[in-house]
């Protein structure tokens, strides 16, 4: 992997450039891999290195750090065509068991991180009069789930961000959509199940089976399936799609 600082206008506008936040594991890693396959130069902003693409260490909850890195990317490549704001984490707790510190920390990453990335890429996309912004929300952007107060709140905020950004920047041919995955088999999901089983004493395999059975298609989603949706929404084939919430949940929210 090559740090952004070492790049000097390698791209010269010939190859589309995609920035992915939280691209080192799970859905983010699948998105990086898919966009690389599609011919993008991909820069992954994360706190830990990922398996592929150009990696730049960045805590996206730090607005100034995000601004600096995006400026470096613009200087190195001359353009930014796609932003996939994917960085985030889960929190299982109802409102009574959510402290102010927990709420602040979750909002800093899930919401302020997206705010920072979107705000930073918009100037270059406006100059290009072209760009795609994809916010990784959740099925919880459109429905409520038990024991998920703060996480649900942050994902609903991303849905709102997608709508307002789509409307404000359509005149510049910048599209913005929110992707709303259901239960996807990622390290984040596995960690959440492990915590639940440790607290409840439940059998892990049994809980995984119950989660799969709750989905109308009878299984969990795959990160690669979400990545395929990202690639489509970033492509010219999706040129008339903006301001939308794109559910990819195996039919869960249709019940």
Local confidence pLDDT in tens for the 255 residues of the chain: 444 444 434 455 589 999 999 999 999 999 999 999 999 999 999 999 998 889 999 999 999 999 999 999 999 999 999 999 999 999 989 999 999 999 999 999 999 999 999 999 999 999 999 999 999 999 999 999 999 999 999 999 999 999 999 999 999 999 999 999 999 999 989 988 998 899 889 999 999 999 999 999 999 999 999 999 999 999 999 999 999 999 999 999 999
Torsion of CA 21, 197, 222, 166, to 10 degrees: -40
Quick one: pLDDT at residue 13? Answer: 56
d(CA 181, CA 221): 8
DSSP 131: E
Quick one: pLDDT at residue 7? Answer: 43
Task: Assign 212 to helix, strand or coil.
Answer: helix
187-200 and 204-213 helices, crossing angle to 10°: 120
Residue partners of 190: CB distance under 8 A and separation at least 6? none
Residue from 40, 55, 77, 151 carrying the catalytic annotation: 151
Closest CA to 113 of 187, 22, 229, 180: 22
Beta bridge partners of 17: 41
Does residue 151 have an active-site annotation?
yes
d(CA 125, CA 131): 5
Residue partners of 238: CB distance under 8 A and separation at least 6? 175, 232
Q: Please return the burial class of 142, using the count of CB atoms within 10 Å of its CB with bins 0-12, 13-18 and 19+.
A: middle
Neighbours of 209 (CB within 10 A): 11
């Amino acid at each position: 992997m090559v740090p952004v600082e070492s790049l000097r206008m390698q791209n010269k506008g010939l190859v589309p450039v995609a920035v992915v936040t939280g691209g080192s594991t799970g859905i983010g890693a699948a998105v990086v891999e898919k966009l690389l396959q599609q011919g993008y130069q991909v820069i992954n902003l994360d706190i830990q290195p990922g398996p592929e693409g150009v990696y730049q260490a960045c805590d996206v909850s730090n607005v100034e750090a995000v601004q600096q890195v995006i400026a470096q990317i613009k200087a190195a490549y001359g353009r930014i065509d796609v932003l996939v704001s994917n960085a985030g984490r889960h929190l299982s707790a109802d409102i009574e068991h959510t402290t102010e510190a927990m709420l602040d920390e979750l909002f800093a990453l899930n919401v302020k991180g997206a705010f920072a990335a979107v705000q930073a890429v918009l100037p270059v996309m406006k100059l290009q009069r072209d760009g795609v912004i994809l916010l990784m929300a959740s099925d919880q952007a459109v429905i409520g789930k038990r024991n998920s107060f703060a996480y649900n709140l942050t994902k609903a905020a991303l849905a709102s961000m997608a709508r307002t950004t789509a409307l404000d920047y359509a005149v510049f041919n910048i599209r913005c959509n929110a992707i709303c995955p259901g239960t996807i088999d990622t390290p984040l999901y596995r960690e959440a199940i492990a915590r639940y089983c440790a607290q409840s004493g439940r059998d892990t395999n049994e809980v995984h089976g119950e989660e799969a059975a709750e989905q109308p298609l009878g299984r969990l989603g795959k990160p690669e399936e979400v990545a395929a949706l990202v690639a489509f929404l970033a492509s010219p084939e999706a040129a008339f799609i903006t301001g939308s919430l794109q559910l990819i949940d195996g039919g869960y929210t249709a019940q």
